[in-house]
Amino acid sequence: MMKAVWSGVAAVAVVLMASTSAFAQASASGSIGVTANVAAKAKLTLGPTSIVFADADPDAVPVMTATAVTIDVKARASGAVTLTVLATGDLVSGGNTIGINNLTWAATGSGFVAGISDKTTAQTVGSWGVSGNPSGTQTYSLPNSWTYATGTYTVTLNYTLTAP
């Protein structure tokens, strides 16, 4: 009779081992979705924030040139990025004016272009086909003429950076 008891115990042990082995092979999996919202952004830094043409003898200095303006563009866009400038009017001193189209600029830096100031149509300062952070300079010049009336002439130049 003892023999039968041992056989039963051995059979039960085998069944338990098989069950434990099956639980060790179980697995589960899952997943999560990731979303990153990236919107258009534009940042423009200009310096210095004012341009001054010092008085000079027109015979000695026929064209006055200002200190270069540093332009830093940061743009994240889905299309072409553009930087434009538009003057609020002509250069004015009291009742005297100097036509704004006399104010021109040279430019350095990838994507930046030279141009002529305008008071009715924004003029392109730079354009880029993709997002990025280009930097350049813009150096304004103004003819120095004997025909200008004396005075301090001013105008505001408004820059617009567009990143669609």
**Which percentage of the chain shows pLDDT scores above 70?**
86
What pLDDT score does 107 carry?
98
Q: Which amino acid is at 33?
A: G
Q: Structure tokens of 18?
A: 């098989």
Tell me the per-residue pLDDT of 113-156, one tens digit each, with 9 for 90 and over: 999 999 999 999 999 998 999 999 999 999 999 999 999 999 99
Answer with the residue of higher pLDDT: 105 or 2.
105
Instruction: Specify if 152 maps to a domain.
Output: no
- Give a three-class secondary structure readout of 85-132: EEECCCEEECCEEECHHHCEEEEECCCECCEECCCCCCEEEEEECCCE
Residue 143: beta bridge partners?
A: 63
**Which percentage of the chain shows pLDDT scores above 90?**
82
Give the CA distances from residue 115 to residues 17, 88, 107, 140, in Å, rounded to whole numbers and listed in that order: 86, 16, 8, 9
Label residue 23 by pLDDT band (50, 70, 90).
low
What pLDDT score does 20 carry?
52
Which backbone phi and psi does 120 adopt, to 5 degrees? -115, -30
Instruction: Specify if 21 maps to a domain.
Output: no
CATH number at residue 46: 2.60.40
What total of structural domains would you count in the chain?
1
CB 109 within 8 A of CB 118: no
Instruction: Specify if 114 maps to a domain.
Output: yes
What pLDDT score does 25 carry?
85
- Burial status of residue 47 (CB atoms within 10 A of its CB: 0-12, 13-18, 19 or more): exposed
Is residue 1 over pLDDT 70?
no
What pLDDT score does 24 carry?
76
Task: Give the global pTM.
Answer: 0.81
Instruction: Specify if 64 maps to a domain.
Output: yes
Which backbone phi and psi does 90 adopt, to 5 degrees? -80, 165
Instruction: Specify if 33 maps to a domain.
Output: no
CB atoms closer than 10 angstroms to residue 81: 24
Is residue 8 over pLDDT 60?
no
Average of per-residue pLDDT values in the chain: 90
Instruction: Specify if 22 maps to a domain.
Output: no
Instruction: Specify if 65 maps to a domain.
Output: yes
Residue 83: beta bridge partners?
A: 126, 161
For residue 53, the enclosing domain spans: 41-147+157-162
| 18-32, 38-52, 100-114: range with lowest mean pLDDT | 18-32
Tell me the per-residue pLDDT of 62-82, one tens digit each, with 9 for 90 and over: 999 999 999 999 999 999 999
CB 153 within 8 A of CB 91: yes
Instruction: Specify if 123 maps to a domain.
Output: yes
| Cis check: omega of the bond before 134, within 30 degrees of 0 | no
